[in-house]
Amino acid sequence: MGSYSGVTYVEPPDSGEREYTHVVASVTSSGSTTIYTPGVGRRVRLYWSYALNDPGSSATPLIKIFLGADEKFRVFALSKRQQVTGPVNGALIVNLSEAADVAVTFLLEEVP
């Protein structure tokens, strides 16, 4: 609680939400594209994953999302809230079966 110019205000309660690193990219090449590499000895922990092909595109690639060598998702479109942790030093990689314009967004953090 505080006051300003004689008006009392109350701080809103903490929602309990944590702040994560937002990683956004456009993936356009077929094959694997590294989106995020954790620091040495760290792992990537995903909390939210989003990938969507440009709806105006004639290409519809299969989208594979990897943490290190571990394939976590294989989709044509994705909007998923799920905690997934990769291996130590494992990069976040998006693989497209064909060239296209795929927008990706990940909410993540690095963990030991």
Give the model confidence (pLDDT) of 50-93 as tens digits: 999 998 988 999 999 999 999 999 999 999 999 999 999 999 99
End-to-end CA distance of the chain: 37
Asked whether residue 94 carries a pLDDT value surpassing 60, the answer given is: yes
- Higher per-residue confidence, 17 vs 34: 34
pLDDT category at 40 given cuts 50, 70, 90 is very high
- Identify the residue whose tokens are 């990537």: 44
| Closest C-alpha to 76, from 85, 84, 65 | 65
Q: What is the CA radius of gyration of the chain?
A: 18
The mean per-residue pLDDT over the stretch 13-41 comes to 91
Architecture of domain 15-111: Sandwich (2.60)
Amino acid at 37: T
Residues constituting the chain: 112
The residue extents of the domains of the chain are 15-111
